[in-house]
């Protein structure tokens, strides 16, 4: 979607969350906007990694503070509001976890039934989060590992949505460009919070929609003369599902083929729907891509918790892991202003939380034996 140049003072302080930026969002009447407190997430400056890496400035855009714990709430708020404005009676989609939780919550608030197809091996905590909002959920064998199964699921969803006039809530520009406009508000907030342009912005890349959406936000601000430059965008993937990275390194225009072996929930997308768009942006010089092993992602998740006080899910740590890999063996640059988007909160993955604390036994003391 393209927008006219916004008016002076275009940020509407009278509106909450993403709707503060309504002039650069799809038009939705006030009485159709669904709001749960999304957006306005904190930008947290590093107290440890910035110094260790020798960076001028390092920030974490913490999307875990959204209502259901991830940046997908921005998409759900925009998409469900759009669906209400256009008279949809239900919505349908897929998820690896966070999108389902977000859409389920906003659909419940809007009174819309939500039909959802999920990965065969979806993280149990994320599945439970969807179920509490009473979504109608079905698991699909091979979904999340086989690209062919993924294509089949997407095809059947669009067939059903067309027959029933339901809103397709798949969080990708390829499938719902209106809902995905909500991602841009991350960039709008960053521009306000920093009062300057980052030199690099690192994002996780599963389906690549986060990467494309953040790029689009900065692109629009730059095109309308509201920023003097754009940051270099870096899409970070798990090495076990690096279809985008392998295509980028080969100079290809389509994501590389191959099944996913990654254990990182949220990044198990072997057929990234926005991959082609992301690769086109990289080809023209607006971004790049790299992959990080799952073990390195888990280690960075631990470091963020222990050194920065930020508890995120593994998919949220991948942006930081990618940034650290990019700087490996290099001297820090004091002129760099780096932002890593932390896409989701740590409570999203209970299995990983158990693994992180397995070697931290808590002793039981008698009440009269409290030696400090």
pTM to 2 decimals? 0.94
C-beta separation of 59 from 35 below 8 A: no
Q: Cβ atoms within 10 A of the Cβ of 247, count?
A: 22
The answer to whether 118 and 170 are in contact (CB under 8 A) is no
Domains of the chain by residue range: 18-70+179-356, 72-174
Mean pLDDT of 244-270: 93
For residues 180 and 193, the answer to whether their CB atoms sit within 8 Å is no
Strand partners, 235: 203, 289
Q: Which of 258, 251, 268 has the alpha carbon at shortest distance from 318?
A: 268
d(CA 311, CA 292): 19
Architecture per CATH, 72-174: 3-Layer(aba) Sandwich (3.40)
pLDDT of residue 364: 86
Q: Is the pLDDT of residue 331 over 70?
A: no
What contacts 180, CB < 8 A, 6 or more positions away? 75, 78, 79, 171, 172, 173, 209, 212, 213
CATH 3.40.50.1100 fits 18-70+179-356, yes or no: yes
Asked whether the predicted pLDDT for residue 372 surpasses 80, the reply is: no
- How many Å apart are CA 270 and CA 302, to the nearest integer? 26
Beta partners for residue 136, in sequence order: 115
Per-residue pLDDT tens digits for 243-256? 999 999 999 999 99
Looking from the CA of 363 toward its CB, the CA atoms found within 13 Å total 6
Helix axes 294-303, 350-357, angle to 10 degrees: 70
pLDDT band at residue 146 using 50, 70 and 90 as cut-offs: confident
CA distance 182 to 18: 7
Q: What are phi and psi of 333, to 5 degrees?
A: -115, 115
CA gap 343, 313 in Å, rounded: 8
Provide Rg for the chain, Cα atoms: 20
What number is the average pLDDT over the span 325-337?
A: 81
Instruction: Provide the pairing of β-strand 43-45 with 57-62.
Output: antiparallel
- State the DSSP code for 239: G
Is the pLDDT at 174 greater than 90? The verdict is yes
> What are the C-alpha distances in Å from 361 to residues 143, 305, 346, 354?
37, 17, 20, 11
Output the pLDDT for position 108: 97
Sign of the alpha-carbon torsion through 232, 238, 241, 246 = positive
User: In terms of Cα–Cα distance, which of 211, 220, 227 is closest to 287?
Assistant: 211
d(CA 60, CA 108): 30
**Residue 332 reports pLDDT greater than 70:** no
Residue 121 pLDDT level (bands cut at 50, 70, 90): confident
Say which DSSP state 315 is in.
H
Among 42-46, 127-131, 327-331, the range of highest mean pLDDT: 42-46
Using the predicted structure, report yes or no on whether residue 320 has a pLDDT greater than 70.
Answer: yes
Other residues' Cβ atoms within 10 Å of the Cβ of residue 350: 14
| Fold match flag (18-70+179-356 vs 72-174) | yes
| Residues in CB range of 225: below 8 A, 6 or more apart | 5
Rounded Cα–Cα distance for residues 258 and 279 (Å) = 17
Instruction: Take residue 57 and report the two structure tokens written for it.
Output: 């400035």
Closest by CA position to 41, among listed 182, 232, 198: 182
Are 182 and 79 in contact by the 8 Å Cβ rule? The answer is yes
List, for residues 344-370, the tens digit of each pLDDT value: 999 988 888 889 999 998 888 888 877
């Amino acid at each position: 979607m393209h927008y006219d140049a916004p008016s002076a003072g275009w940020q509407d302080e009278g509106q909450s969350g993403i709707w503060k930026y309504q002039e650069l969002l799809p038009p939705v009447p006030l009485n159709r906007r669904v709001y749960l407190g999304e957006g306005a997430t904190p930008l947290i400056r590093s107290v440890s990694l910035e110094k260790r890496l020798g960076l001028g400035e390092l920030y974490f855009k913490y999307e875990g503070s959204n209502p259901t714990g991830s940046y997908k709430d921005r998409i759900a708020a925009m998409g469900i509001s759009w669906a209400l404005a256009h008279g949809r009676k239900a919505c349908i989609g897929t998820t690896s976890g966070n999108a389902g939780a977000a859409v389920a919550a906003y659909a419940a608030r809007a009174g819309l039934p939500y039909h959802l197809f999920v990965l065969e091996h979806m993280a149990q905590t994320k599945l439970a989060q969807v179920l509490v909002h009473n979504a109608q959920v079905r698991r699909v064998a091979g979904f999340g590992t086989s690209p062919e199964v993924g294509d089949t699921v997407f095809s059947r969803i669009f067939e059903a949505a067309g027959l029933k006039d339901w809103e397709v809530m798949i969080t990708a520009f390829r499938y719902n460009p209106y809902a995905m406009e909500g991602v841009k508000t991350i960039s709008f907030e960053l521009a306000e919070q920093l009062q300057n342009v980052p030199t690099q912005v690192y994002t996780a890349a599963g389906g690549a929609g986060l990467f494309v959406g953040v790029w689009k936000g900065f692109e629009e601000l730059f095109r309308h003369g509201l920023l003097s430059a754009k940051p270099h965008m870096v899409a970070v993937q798990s090495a076990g599902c690096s279809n985008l990275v392998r295509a980028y390194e080969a100079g290809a225009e389509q994501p590389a083929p191959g099944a996913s072996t990654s254990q990182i929930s949220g990044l198990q997308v072997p057929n990234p729907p926005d991959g082609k768009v992301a690769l086109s942006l990289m080809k023209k010089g607006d971004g790049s891509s790299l992959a990080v092993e799952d073990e390195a992602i888990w280690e960075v998740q631990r470091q963020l918790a222990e050194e920065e006080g930020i508890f995120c899910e593994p998919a949220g740590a991948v942006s930081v892991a990618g940034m650290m890999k990019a700087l490996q063996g290099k001297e820090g640059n004091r002129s760099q202003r780096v932002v890593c988007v932390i896409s989701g909160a740590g409570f999203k993955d209970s299995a990983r939380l158990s693994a992180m604390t397995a070697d931290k036994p808590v002793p039981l003391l008698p009440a009269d034996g409290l030696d400090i």
